Amino acid sequence: MKKRIYLDYAATTPIDPRVFGAILPWLKENFGNPSSIHGLGQKALVAIDEARKKLANFLGCQAEEIIFTSSATEANNLAIRGVLKALTLKLKTSKLHLITSQIEHHAVLEPCKKLQKEGVEVTYLPVNKQGLIRISELKRAIKPNTVLVSIMYANNEIGTIQPILEIAKLLKSKSSKLKTKIYFHTDAVQAINYLDCKVNHLGVDLLTLSAHKIYGPKGIGALYLKKGTPILPQILGGGQEQGIRSGTENVAGIVGLGEAINQIKNQKSKIKNLLNLRNKLIDGILRSIPQAKLNGSREDRLPNNANFTIPGAEGEAMVIALDQEGICASTGSACSSRKLEPSHVLLALGLSEEEAHCSLRLTLGRYTQSKEIDQVLKVLPKIVERLRKISGYTKS
Amino acid sequence: MAIYSKIVIERFLHPRNLGKIKNPDGVGSTENIRCGDIMKIYIKVKKNKIKEIKFETLGCSAAIASSDLICDLAKGKSLAEAKKIGYQDIAKKLGKLPLVKMHCTHLAERALKIAIEDYLKKKR
């Protein structure tokens, strides 16, 4: 068995050994329910509060502004549906308007589509070829009934980083002009590892994050909810998480998320190192594979993301061939999706369906080594050559 | 664990019937409008039998394996027999195929049928 080379960190990350160690006691002897008032229960409650403080510290917010959820998907649903439903009740109108982008994760797009069916107006902002929204377009899209803007911090497929500060600034000035607050939510799942996430600096009212993208366990996420933000709970029950998200807390998951956040130290040298590896990968592929091109902005991009279109080589076939070589990758090709639809992100960049069909995503992480990149650069050109032979590809 | 059988992977990595045929007697080109896979099958016919058959596919591993396999199934068969090759025959030979990939076998079946039609049309 070949040694595995994992280059799919945007899909999920391996659990950090320190996180794993921190979780274990909460799956074994410390099994109490935080709602119980006996010692065992209270011990779990304290552990949750400590994790909450770690998140608050990382985001620069109050501990009570953190709501734990089962996933980032749930946090996104809570943010979008929760705010819209609360404002619908408060303002006694369903004719509210929300703005998002065409390249959001499905966990944002699907709740938006559902709200649209329920009568909410939704604008899906396009992006330019670089994968970035235009502030001027956002400005034009804002209407007197706009109440929420949800724009992701960094994209999961192409890694492009949206101008969050500028968006927040615009919304603030528009809010004061229109005399109605426009709330700002950002899905920061991919950004947490690498970018500044101090919520006051960013100027966001809601922010989504997930543990399993930051070397923590699966099944736990969180929503930062600025004090005073109207929200209607989407899961009702025992009133946990200040009544905003009922359900017995995933104590081990929450402890794991807290420890994972604690381990993120955005040391410039580490990010620089990752960036060097990523650039070596991009340059190597563009050099050794004719007609290959990078999708999305190279500058406004997460340091761990590379996404290519390689004409004549279908994405699923590339991923399966790489897998045979022990390399884990991903693609936006329709052939790899459950719904047989090409990546909506790549299409939004203006790529044709054929170009999306021939896409390959490689995402690096904490444990990526230089020799692993060398191995990819050795193997991938041969795979592409073979697949191009199979497809009868000739440069046109 | 893998999503594909060893047979699919083997055919995908080492297709036996890959390529173009110079001056083919029939060509079947078809595209799956949903996933975008493109498949081409080339045939040479002698005495009403498929003498030579090759393929080119821009598609996923299952599409490549399906096109390679249908070439083996059709080789040496009479046109009437070859026309009867169905997607189930391909799927059966490939072993475990995820449900979402069944359309790849349909694509191969269609490409061969179009190639045979093309030959018959030219002959007329």
Q: Does A335 sit within 8 Å of B38, measured CB to CB?
A: no
Chain A, residues 270-329, CB within 8 A of chain B, namely 312, 314, 316-317, 320-321, 323-324
Residue-level pLDDT at A335: 86
Cβ(A330)–Cβ(A380) under 8 Å? Answer: no
Q: Using CA of residue B10, residue B16, residue B17, residue B19, what is the dihedral sign?
A: positive
Q: How far apart are CA B45 and CA B26, in angstroms?
A: 8
Q: How far apart are CA A349 and CA A295, in angstroms?
A: 8
Cβ(A365)–Cβ(A357) under 8 Å? Answer: no
Q: Looking at the DSSP assignment, which residues form a beta bridge with residue A244?
A: none
**Which residue, among A319, A388, A391, A393, would best test binding to B if mutated, counting the most B CBs under 10 Å from its CB?**
A391
Q: Which of B45, B91, B104, B114 is catalytic?
A: B104
Residue A282 neighbours by CB under 8 Å, 6+ apart = A294, A298, A306
Nearest partner of A80 among A99, A95, A61, judged by Cα: A99
Q: How far apart are CA A64 and CA A242, in angstroms?
A: 8
State the burial class of residue A119 (Cβ atoms within 10 Å of its Cβ: 0-12, 13-18, 19+).
exposed
Q: Does B15 sit within 8 Å of A314, measured CB to CB?
A: no
Q: How far apart are CA A233 and CA A239, in angstroms?
A: 10
Q: Does B58 sit within 8 Å of A312, measured CB to CB?
A: yes
Among candidates A317, A340, A353 on the partner chain, residue whose Cβ is nearest the Cβ of B64:
A317
Q: How far apart are CA A70 and CA A87, in angstroms?
A: 24
DSSP single-letter state for residue A218: S
> B104: nearest CA in chain A?
A335
* Angle of CA points B90, A391, B122, to nearest 5°: 75
Tell me the three state secondary structure of residue A76. helix
Q: How far apart are CA A297 and CA A283, in angstroms?
A: 14
Q: How far apart are CA A318 and CA A311, in angstroms?
A: 11
**In which residue ranges of chain A is pLDDT below 50?**
none
Q: Looking at the DSSP assignment, which residues form a beta bridge with residue A184?
A: A149
Q: Does A314 sit within 8 Å of B4, measured CB to CB?
A: no
> A320: nearest CA in chain B?
B61
Q: Does A335 sit within 8 Å of B37, measured CB to CB?
A: yes
Contacts of B34 in chain A (CB under 8 A): 334, 340
Burial A18-28 (b: 16+ CB within 10 A, else e): ebeebbeebee
DSSP single-letter state for residue A154: B
- The residue ranges of DSSP E strands in B9-63, in sequence order, are 26-31, 38-46, 49-58
Q: How far apart are CA A341 and CA B35, in angstroms?
A: 6
Q: Does B4 sit within 8 Å of A333, measured CB to CB?
A: no
What tokens were used for B15?
């297709």
Number of H helices, E strands in chain A: 13, 12
Q: Does B12 sit within 8 Å of A317, measured CB to CB?
A: yes
Q: Does A340 sit within 8 Å of B100, measured CB to CB?
A: yes
Q: How far apart are CA A80 and CA A231, in angstroms?
A: 9
Q: Is A328 a catalytic residue?
A: no
Residues comprising chain A, all counted: 396
Q: Is B60 a catalytic residue?
A: no
Say what percent of chain A tops pLDDT 70.
99
Tell me whether strands B38-46 and B26-31 are parallel, antiparallel or unpaired.
antiparallel
Nearest partner of A27 among A247, A213, A250, judged by Cα: A250
Query: Cα A56 from chain centroid?
Result: 19
For B87-113, the pLDDT digits (tens) are: 999 999 999 788 889 999 999 999 999
Q: Does A391 sit within 8 Å of B57, measured CB to CB?
A: yes
Q: Which of A197, A328, A335, A358 is catalytic?
A: A335
Q: Which of B35, B38, B60, B102 is catalytic?
A: B35
Contacts of B18 in chain A (CB under 8 A): 389-390
Cβ(A189)–Cβ(A105) under 8 Å? Answer: yes
What tokens were used for A106?
């499905």
Contacts of B36 in chain A (CB under 8 A): 333-335, 342, 353-354, 357
Query: Cα B46 from chain centroid?
Result: 19
Contacts of A391 in chain B (CB under 8 A): 38, 56-59
Contacts of A321 in chain B (CB under 8 A): 12-13, 61
Chain B residues in contact with chain A using a Cβ-Cβ cutoff of 8 Å:
2, 4, 9, 12-13, 15, 18-20, 34-38, 40, 56-61, 63-64, 100, 103
For residue B14, the distance in angstroms to the closest alpha carbon of chain A comes to 10
Q: Write the secondary structure of A168-182 as one string of H (helix), E (strand) and C (coil).
A: HHHHHHHHHHHCCCC
For A220-237, the pLDDT digits (tens) are: 999 999 999 999 999 999
Residue B1 — very low, low, confident or very high, per pLDDT cuts 50/70/90? low
Residue with tokens 């896979």, as numbered in its chain: B37
For residue A391, the distance in angstroms to the closest alpha carbon of chain B comes to 4
For A305-356, the pLDDT digits (tens) are: 999 999 999 999 999 999 999 999 999 998 888 778 899 999 999 999 999 9
Q: How far apart are CA A156 and CA B49, in angstroms?
A: 52
Tell me the three state secondary structure of residue B30. strand
